[in-house]
Amino acid sequence: MMRILLATDGSPHALRAAAFVARLVRETRGVELILVNVGHVPAVALGGPGAGAMVDFGVLEEGLERAGQEILNNTLRELAGIDADIAKEYRRGDPGGQILEAAKAKDVDLIVMGCRGLGQFGGLILGSVSERVLHGAHMPVLIVR
């Protein structure tokens, strides 16, 4: 059984990665697919004077989780009709670190992700999350361009 982790932030890049996984799964028997989204509190909300007073972390985290579940469902839609055992996993924290943790915990054979995400700096070849995962992973990583 081939186990694949698909990391998604709901960006067009991540959905392209999902479309590639769909194709891969169509050609492969017995795939177990784990969709992972990581909700993270931007550093700007954590640091700085008065940040703690301005941000209600309970509300923030609930919102992040709701958004994360929606991203996972949108990505699932991209995978409609494929014959795989699909699980969704929402995590909280540093996206790269959490994707690596999930990959290790589930002992996946492959991590699939987009080259870029929702970030604003479109000029880079690789976003910081995909770079971090590529650096830290002990299993194959497929970056979809």
Binding mask 5-44 for ligand ATP (x = CB under 6 A): --xxx-x-xx--x------------------xxx-x----
State which residue has the least CB distance to ligand ATP.
Answer: 127
Contact flag: residue 116 with ligand ATP (CB under 6 A): yes
Contact flag: residue 73 with ligand ATP (CB under 6 A): no
Q: How far apart are the first and last CA of the chain?
A: 26
Chain residues 66-125 in contact with Mg ion, contact rule CB under 5 A: 117, 119
Q: Answer with the entry of ligand ATP, Mg ion, none that 11 interacts with (C-beta below 5 to 8 A by kind).
A: ligand ATP
35 is written with which tokens? 């969709």
The order of strands in the sheet holding 31-39 is 84-92, 31-39, 2-7, 110-114, 141-144
Contact flag: residue 118 with ligand ATP (CB under 6 A): yes
Contact flag: residue 117 with ligand ATP (CB under 6 A): yes
CA atoms within 13 A of residue 84's CA, in its CB half-sphere: 28
104 is written with which tokens? 């290790």
Q: Quick check: helix, strand or coil at residue 111?
A: strand
Q: Answer with the entry of ligand ATP, Mg ion, none that 36 interacts with (C-beta below 5 to 8 A by kind).
A: ligand ATP
26 is written with which tokens? 């169509």
Residues forming the site for Mg ion (CB under 5 A): 117, 119, 127
